[in-house]
Amino acid sequence: MLKLSIITLFLGQTKNRFLIYQDPIDIAEVLDRAGRSEGCDGVELRYPADFGDLPALKEGLKRNGLSISAINFASVRNDRWARGAWTARIHAPR
């Protein structure tokens, strides 16, 4: 049987160098949104963004019956990398 998961990035606030999309929410609400999504069986978590509150993460997964399909190392998704890649030649944006 086919199982579907959603990357948590699409369920809460995300931003790029130009815009901020949606208001910030905690991991519990992100997982509740995934749990309310028809046909969603799991989530792809982002490290380190989704791991700030491990008890809430574990409880949210359990409460919503979600599994972890993958863990995505999201080095370019936080404020530190918003203005430049970690490979930038100029030290300031890194």
Question: Higher confidence at residue 10 or residue 83?
Answer: 10
* 54-64 helix and 27-36 helix, angle to the nearest 10 degrees: 10
Q: Write out pLDDT tens, residues 36-87.
A: 999 999 999 998 889 999 999 999 999 999 999 999 986 655 555 555 566 6
What average pLDDT score do residues 15-37 get? 92
What average pLDDT score do residues 13-30 get? 89
**Residue 88: per-residue pLDDT:** 65
Q: Give this prediction's pTM.
A: 0.74
Report the distance separating Cα 12 and Cα 23, nearest Å: 7
Helix and strand numbers, DSSP H then E, in the chain? 2, 5
Query: Helix, strand, or coil here: 87?
Result: coil
